[in-house]
């Protein structure tokens, strides 16, 4: 049963019907024991590492994120690996605020601003040249991602250099398309700025406005073996004098 409800910031909500009582039961209602839950709490809530992949950053209660929700313009220095974020508060993902009970907010942000800044550290003990990075993110509304100060991905924000107070594009829980229990959409991330040892992932989240009813940030990052180049295949060999032609 789908229902045009319009409450809790959602335009379309999904229900089951209790045939005994004929009552609607909202899916993902954490306060209702009869509700079907379309999410799972605990490590790797939104993405499951595939075979041969190593989790570098997980959405769980152990991976800590430093954050700034003051609404101030921090320029560009904050995204660098060497930036001193020791004075920032910290907490696990998901970080944000949201009226939808389906979202597992572990760290509540108090600022109601356009732009939020997040930083986390992870160790990598492999060979960057032989690695492919894959990312699943949970973002409302838009974000730019930096690895050791270098932009590696952006979602739902304009291209090029943007001012700190530019609104993110879109609204109404677009991040939910990346939070499926089966693993979400994986983005292949450039590894040119990945180093062996400690790395810093920085995320600049742009809300669609300071008065928005929700803001969400969470990231899972995986390392997988880089795809090996396939050997060239030939279907035809011809000889012309002393020359051998392969096609």
Write out pLDDT tens, residues 33-50.
666 655 444 434 444 556
Give the residue-averaged pLDDT of 133-162: 91
CA distance 27 to 30: 9
Q: Decide: pTM greater than 0.85.
A: no
User: What is the mean predicted confidence (pLDDT) over 106-131?
Assistant: 95
Share of residues in the chain with pLDDT > 90 (%)? 44
- Read off the pLDDT band of 178 (50, 70, 90): very low
Q: What is the mean pLDDT of residues 200-216?
A: 89
Residue 245's pLDDT is: 66
Q: Which residues are 118's β-sheet partners?
A: 67, 203
> 177-202 in b/e burial notation, b at 16+ Cβ within 10 A?
ebbeeebbebbebebebbeeeebbbb
Query: Which residue, among 202, 246, 242, has the nearest Cα to 221 in the 3D structure?
Result: 202
Is a pLDDT exceeding 90 seen at residue 240? no
Which pLDDT does position 173 carry in this prediction?
41
At residue 226, the pLDDT reads 85
Question: C-alpha angle 173/176/180, rounded to 5°?
Answer: 170
Residue 11 has pLDDT above 60, yes or no: no
Q: Mean pLDDT throughout 231-236?
A: 59
C-alpha angle 213/218/223, rounded to 5°?
Answer: 160
């Amino acid at each position: 049963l789908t229902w045009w409800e319009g409450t809790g910031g959602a335009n379309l909500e999904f229900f089951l019907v209790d045939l005994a009582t004929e009552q609607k039961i909202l899916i993902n209602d954490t306060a209702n024991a009869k509700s079907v839950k379309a999410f799972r709490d605990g490590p790797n809530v939104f993405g499951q590492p595939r075979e041969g992949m190593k989790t570098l950053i997980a959405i769980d209660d152990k991976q800590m994120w430093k954050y700034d929700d003051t609404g101030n313009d921090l320029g560009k220095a904050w995204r660098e690996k060497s930036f001193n974020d020791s004075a920032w508060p910290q907490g696990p993902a998901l970080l944000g605020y949201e009226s939808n009970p389906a979202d597992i907010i572990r760290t509540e942000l108090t600022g109601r601003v356009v732009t939020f800044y997040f930083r986390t550290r992870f160790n990598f003990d492999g060979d960057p040249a032989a690695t492919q990075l894959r990312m699943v993110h949970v973002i409302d509304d838009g974000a730019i991602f930096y690895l050791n100060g270098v932009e590696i991905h952006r979602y739902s924000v304009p291209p090029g250099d943007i001012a700190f107070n530019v609104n993110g594009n879109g609204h109404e829980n677009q991040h939910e398309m990346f939070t499926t229990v089966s693993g979400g959409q994986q983005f292949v991330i450039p590894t040119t700025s990945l180093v062996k040892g400690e790395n810093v992932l920085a995320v600049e989240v742009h809300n669609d406005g300071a008065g928005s009813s929700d803001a969400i940030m969470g990231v899972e990052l995986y390392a997988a073996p880089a795809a090996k180049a396939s050997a060239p295949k030939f279907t035809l060999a011809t000889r012309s004098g002393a020359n051998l032609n392969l096609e």
